[in-house]
A and B are shown apart, each in its own frame.
Chain A
């Protein structure tokens, strides 16, 4: 079946630290992979996506590379800011349906 596993939180970092949030997946068919971000009190917003193997999605200094050989889509940012404090969700959808499969979310807090 389809599923997403992402690292447990919460994660607390100092400003300007390097961020990695791990995400691995299992999928039938050929998945597209997504990272969504949820700021406090808001809905989810698309952060970045990748639709095929070796694609790199990037936005707002965040990056993630679609690694088919390791079934991973880890989120990285070189220097986090306080404004990056949010919950991050890894997700996939496949060409065999329209449902999205979300990870459980990783809460990030960045302290000055």
Chain B
């Protein structure tokens, strides 16, 4: 089914564990983004990618690692999860450079105990 998907949809982990959130899009969009959504903060950009093998930091990158070996995938890894990383994570894609809309995945709700 075409679109942008995220997995898992829900994840509970413990402090100090490594966690990887997956994002996959079928449109071959050039740009992909990771946001976290927290009450009172709206959406904050963690990392983004302009193309395969090109990534850049957003507003809140500390504690996160990304990679993009293929255009369609953009995984987000929490190397050593902390309670402050409990949040809802959204992946988004954008067709190309310029003022085009972003398309969002359904989100992953992550709880770090």
Contacts and interface: CB of A to CB of B under 8 A. Distances in A.
A45 B92 CA distance: 11
Contact of A98 (B94, B103, B106, B107): B94
Interface in B69-89: none
B99 A94 contact: yes
Given A44-B90, A93-B99, A99 B48 contact: yes
Contacts of B42: 89, 102-105
A95 B58 contact: no
Interface in A1-59: 31-32, 34, 36, 41-46, 49, 51
Q: How large is the interface on B (under 10, 10 to 19, 20 to 34, 35 or more residues)?
A: 20 to 34
Contacts of A46: 101, 103
A105 B42 CA distance: 6
Contact residues of B: prevailing secondary structure: strand
Interface in B45-104: 45, 48, 50, 58, 90, 92, 94, 97-99, 101-104
A45 B42 CA distance: 15
Nearest to B103: A46
A102 B43 contact: yes
Interface of A: 31-32, 34, 36, 41-46, 49, 51, 89, 93-95, 98-100, 102-105
7 contacts: A36-B104, A44-B43, A44-B104, A45-B104, A89-B42, A95-B98, A103-B42
Given A98-B97, A104-B42, 6 more contacts: A44-B92, A44-B104, A94-B99, A95-B98, A102-B42, A102-B43
Interface of B: 31, 33, 40-43, 45, 48, 50, 58, 90, 92, 94, 97-99, 101-107
